[in-house]
């Protein structure tokens, strides 16, 4: 519960505080982030922009995340980097998941990653003696099944690889193989001519010590230049 974390007894105020670019909670508490902490953030943002070469949008996202973090630190009365403790980082993570507009786990994980990078920077620069964010773990992201491509979408992909030259035949053959067998890219590129069995079976080398033999779907209709001749297989291997 948010009330169990010091400084988070007012979820609605905290929720406003962590709204990117809206340090409302700091305003309600009567003060905002100190000049020292703002300077630390400015130096870190400059570091990721210049030394890491991150894109402008990514740098701005870092700045928004840290602006929200500073707002919560202001609510909790932290005036300088050495005053920040592990409880502050935990409180920030909790605050992102409460209030009127709780953030998704993926957004919380991204913002925590920004905060952890900021604290590593403070440690590297000698501003603090320990990294208080080191033990902070992001929320577990839900597992999602990959979305399958539709038949119509796959048809358009195959049409884009039309042609009779060796490279076009190679591309279409690999696309047909991946779609028909469910093979992974690494399995497809490791295929040899001898892995084709009776024209409608393909032997895949995967994580198991035993190879996996897969039948091509609808072999009468499946366009399979892989099985046409050895020369074409040689072109595909290149």
- CATH superfamily placement of domain 151-237: Intergrase catalytic core (1.10.443.10)
Q: State the Cα–Cα distance between residues 154 and 212, nearest whole angstrom.
A: 24
How would you write the pLDDT of the chain (238 residues) with one tens digit per residue? 444 444 443 333 344 444 443 333 443 444 578 899 999 999 999 999 998 888 899 999 999 999 999 999 999 999 999 999 999 999 999 999 887 888 888 899 999 999 999 999 999 999 999 999 998 887 776 777 777 778 888 888 888 888 778 888 778 878 877 877 777 787 777 777 777 776 667 777 666 555 556 555 444 344 444 444 444 444 444 4
Nearest to 45 by CA among 57, 33, 63: 63
Distance CA 38, CA 85 (A): 17
How far is it, in rounded angstroms, from Cα 128 to Cα 36? 13
Tell if the pTM clears 0.75, that is, is over it. Answer: no
Distance of CA 66 to the CA centre of its chain: 19
Name the segment(s) of the chain with CATH classification 1.10.443.10: 151-237
Work out the angle at residue 80's Cα, subtended by the Cα atoms of residues 124 and 122, and round it to the nearest 5 degrees.
10
């Amino acid at each position: 519960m948010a009330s169990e974390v010091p400084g988070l007894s007012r979820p609605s105020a905290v929720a406003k505080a962590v709204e990117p670019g809206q340090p409302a909670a700091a305003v309600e508490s009567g003060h905002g982030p100190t000049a020292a902490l703002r300077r630390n953030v400015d130096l870190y943002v400059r570091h990721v922009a210049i030394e890491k070469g991150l894109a402008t949008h990514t740098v701005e996202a870092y700045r928004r995340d840290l602006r929200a973090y500073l707002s919560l630190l202001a609510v909790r009365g932290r005036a300088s980097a050495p005053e920040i403790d592990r409880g502050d980082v935990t409180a920030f993570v909790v605050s992102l998941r409460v209030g009127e507009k709780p953030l998704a786990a993926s957004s919380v994980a991204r913002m925590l990653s920004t905060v952890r990078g900021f604290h590593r920077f403070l440690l590297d620069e000698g501003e603090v003696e320990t990294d208080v964010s080191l033990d902070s773990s992001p929320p577990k992201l839900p597992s999602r099944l990959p979305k399958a491509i539709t038949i119509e979408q796959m048809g358009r992909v195959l049409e884009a690889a039309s042609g009779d030259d060796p490279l076009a035949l190679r591309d279409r053959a690999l696309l047909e193989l991946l779609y028909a067998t469910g093979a992974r890219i690494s399995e497809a590129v490791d295929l040899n001519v001898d892995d084709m069995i009776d024209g409608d079976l393909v032997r895949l080398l995967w994580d198991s010590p035993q190879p996996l033999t897969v039948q091509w779907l609808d072999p009468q209709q499946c366009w399979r230049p892989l099985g046409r001749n050895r020369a074409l297989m040689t072109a595909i291997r290149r």
